[in-house]
Amino acid sequence: RPCMATKAIHLASRLPRIATLAPRATPRAYTASRTLISPARAAMTSPKTELVYFRDTYQTSCEAKVVSFEPVEDPGDDGVARFVAVLDRTVAYPAGGGQPSDTGRIVGPGGVAFAVASVASNKDGTVTHLGEFEEEGAAPFNADDEVTVTVDADKRLLHARIHSAGHLLDVAMTNIGFGPDVMVPAKGLHQPDQAYVEYTGKVEGLDKDKLMADLKAEMNKLVSLGGGSAAAMMGYDEAAEACGGELPSYIPKDSTPRVVTIVPDTAGCPCGGTHVANVNEIGSVDVTGVRVKKGTTRVSYTIEGMKDHK
C-alpha cells in the first residue's frame, strides 16, 4: 500500500537516490554471490512485509500497520518482557548478508514506544522486530494498530558505507588483476568491528603486502573519483545480464532479484543490503590484512567510523 502521510527522515537529501541500474561496459563474469542474504530475500517477488529500505537507504522512518505482536516465551535472566512485532511494511533492515540489523523504535497509539533491539527476516517473507517497551507495563500493540517505525540514522549510514566498501573491494580486485577468473567472491562480513570479503581461489607466491597496498590505493582512488551506485529489482534474464551473464543456481528462474551495482560500468550482483548513493560517501579505506587458508583468500578492510580504522 502507498506510504501514509509521514515525513520520512533523510540523511542526505541532496544526494542522488539509488534507483536504476547504471549503464555497463562488458560485464565481468559472475559465479557466486557473497552479499545474498538468502534466496528468499534477494529473489523475493512478493514479500509479506514490504521492505521500504529497498527503495531508499536514506529513509529512516515510515508508517505501518501491526500484523501481529506476540510475547517472547522466555523473557531472559533479567525478567524483562520482550515481544516480537510483525508489520505490513518496515524501514528497518533485518540482519543478513554479513550486515547487522538496524535498531530503533516503533511508536504506537498514544505515543507508546517499543525499543527495537534486532530485526530478522523469515523464509515466509515476513520481517520480525524484537524488543521491549520503553516504559514497564505498557499495553501491547494490537493487530491493525497504526505505528511509526524509526531506525538509528547514524548506524544505518555506517552499515551502508561498510557494506558498499565490500562491493568496492570486489571492483578493486578486478581492476588490479584479481577478478573472478582468478578469485571468486564467496562471502563477506560487513560489521563495525570487523569487515572482510572471502574469495575462492589463491595465487601461488602471492605478495600479500603488495596486494594490500595496491587494493588500498585502488579503492581510495575509486572513492575519490566518485560515481553513482544503483539498485533495482529485475526480471531473471535482465538480472543475469546485469551480473555478468549468469546468476547463482539457488535463485529461482521465476524470481525478480534485486541487483546492486556499486560503481558505474561494472557488473552488479544480487544483494538485499543497504548501500550509499555514491561511492564517495564511503570515505577513506584501509586494507588491513590478507589471509590465505585452504584455497580461500580473505581480504580485511576498514573505513572511517569503524573500530581500529587508521
pLDDT tens-digit series, residues 142-201: 999 999 999 999 999 999 999 999 999 999 999 999 998 899 888 999 999 999 999 998
Q: What pLDDT, in 10s, does the model give residues 249-295?
A: 888 999 999 999 999 999 888 999 999 999 999 999 999 999 999 99
Mean pLDDT across 128-151 = 95
Distances (CA, A) of 80 to 129, 137, 156, 285: 16, 10, 27, 41
Instruction: Determine the Cα–Cα distance for residues 186 and 84; give it in Å rounded to an integer.
Output: 32
Residue 129, pLDDT score = 98
How many other CB atoms sit within 10 Å of the CB of residue 23?
A: 9
What distance in Å separates the CA atoms of residue 52 and residue 102, rounded to the nearest whole number?
A: 13
**C-beta separation of 269 from 30 below 8 A:** yes
Locate 112 and state its grid cell: 507508546
Closest-CA residue to 132 (of 85, 179, 200, 201)? 85
pTM for the model stands at 0.84
Q: What is the dihedral of CA 131, 134, 139, 143, to 10 degrees?
A: -40
pLDDT score, position 287: 98
Mean pLDDT, the chain, as a whole number?
85
pLDDT tens digits, one per residue of 207-225: 999 999 999 999 999 999 9
Neighbour-count burial of 207, counting CB atoms closer than 10 A to its CB (0-12 exposed, 13-18 middle, 19+ buried): exposed
